[in-house]
Structure 1
Amino acid sequence: MRLAVFGATGPTGVEVVQQALAQGHDVTALVRDPDKMVGLVPNKELKIEKINFSSADTVEPHLQDKDVVLSCLGSKTWPWSVTLYTDSMEVIVTAMRKNNVKRLVCVTSWFTEDDPSNPPSFMMRWIVKPLFLGRIMYNMAQMEQYLQGCEDINFTAVRPPGLRMGPVTDMEFRTEEGPQVCDRDDVRGMCRADVARFMLSTMTSEDWVRKCVAVIAVPKK
């Protein structure tokens, strides 16, 4: 498949690019700094294109003839409001429409929505979200809501828990259409390599089309 990857120089994006290449996909990394991408993934099969994110018109040429768009764009924690997720997704979706590209896979997070029947932990509700990640998660939620209103885009928003570095594993995925996965055997985080593995697995699956899916990787029993 012909893939376009946004956020390819980030830690999750690098994993997506490397695993997609290993699976034999035709991968184009759309980045602001091509030299950085070359240093992260020195693979001659990887196509690297410098992108100007100022408008859909500047992004549109990079999505020609693509089958799937993957977004691993992420924001740092800021003391002011975050709009990266919605701003970038509006540009991406508009460019996809101009090229008649329908399939999109992106990353958000656990707990972007509130569900009284499936609440977050005390730590997440009263410390992590208010003090550290609240603005980011709020904008992620806005992006998910925007995608849910895009009836012509077959999106999957992948919601992992706290992310860590580490090699890809063969652990099994547990999923839930909701803010978190309750059945997780006390596993609390997920390595970015397994997030990438799950993202790529959704590209040809009908299970999570036009849905937000919480996921975690747990040891096989």
Structure 2
Amino acid sequence: MVITIFGATGQVGKRAVYQALAEGHTVKAFGRNVDNLIDEDLRNQNFEAIKGHVFDEADVLHAVTGSHAVLSTLGGSIDGIDKTRSLGMKNIIFQMQRAGVKRIVALGGSGVLNVEN
């Protein structure tokens, strides 16, 4: 299965990349800073690092095209101003529709809840 993982450089996203590769999936890891995402020994024909911004329609469309599923582990600040999760997810879903991708899982760590400790 080809899986595009958004937020692949975050704490949750990195673990998802490693897990998907370990299970034999092809991973398209999307993020702003993907250059050093995984160790060299894990880079193979089943991994593609895609540098881009989740608000950029062309970047996201490129990332989801040819994928069977999308995993979003998008983060963002908890200041109430950051729109990464809300507007970013809108763009991801819109581009998935354009590319004919029908499966998405969105998850995050406790940081998305804006809860202390």
TM-score range, shorter chain: 0.7 to 0.9
Q: Which residue of 2 aligns with 1:62?
A: 63
Secondary structure in 2 matching 1:4 = strand
Q: For the Cα contact (< 8 Å) 1:56–1:95, is it kept in 2?
A: yes
User: 2:60 and 2:27 mapped to 1: Cα distance?
Assistant: 16
Q: Which residue of 2 aligns with 1:27?
A: 27
Where structure 2 has 5 or more consecutive residues not aligned to the other structure, the ranges are none
Between 1 and 2, higher relative CO (CA 8 Å, sep ≥ 6) is seen in: 2
User: 1:94 and 1:20 mapped to 2: Cα distance?
Assistant: 24
Shift of 1:108: 4.7
Q: Which residue of 2 aligns with 1:44?
A: 43
User: 1:3 and 1:67 mapped to 2: Cα distance?
Assistant: 6
1:89 aligns with 2:108: no
Q: Which residue of 2 aligns with 1:158?
A: none
User: 1:82 and 1:50 mapped to 2: Cα distance?
Assistant: 20
Shift of 1:77: 2.8
User: 2:77 and 2:36 mapped to 1: Cα distance?
Assistant: 19
Q: Which residue of 2 aligns with 1:75?
A: 76
Q: Which residue of 2 aligns with 1:122?
A: none
Q: Which residue of 2 aligns with 1:15?
A: 15
State the Cα RMSD in Å: 2.3
Q: Which residue of 2 aligns with 1:4?
A: 4
User: 2:56 and 2:30 mapped to 1: Cα distance?
Assistant: 14
User: 1:49 and 1:55 mapped to 2: Cα distance?
Assistant: 13
Residue by residue over 1:143-200, the C-alpha shift from the partner in whole angstroms, topping out at 9 and shown as x without a partner, is xxxxxxxxxxxxxxxxxxx8xxxxxxxxxxxxxxxxxxxxxxxxxxxxxxxxxxxxxx
User: 2:6 and 2:109 mapped to 1: Cα distance?
Assistant: 17
Secondary structure in 2 matching 1:36 = coil
Q: Which residue of 2 aligns with 1:199?
A: none
Q: For the Cα contact (< 8 Å) 1:31–1:37, is it kept in 2?
A: no
- Code of the aligned partner of 1:25: H
Classify 1:109/1:13 alpha carbon distance in 2 versus 1 (closer, same or farther; 3 Å): closer
Q: For the Cα contact (< 8 Å) 1:72–1:106, is it kept in 2?
A: yes
Q: Percent identity at matched positions?
A: 29
Shift of 1:63: 1.3
Shift of 1:44: 1.4
Shift of 1:109: 6.8
Classify 1:52/1:22 alpha carbon distance in 2 versus 1 (closer, same or farther; 3 Å): same
Where structure 1 has 5 or more consecutive residues not aligned to the other structure, the ranges are 113-128, 135-161, 163-221
The structure with more radius of gyration:
1
TM-score where L is the length of structure 1: 0.46
| Greater than 4 Å deviation, 4+ residue runs | none
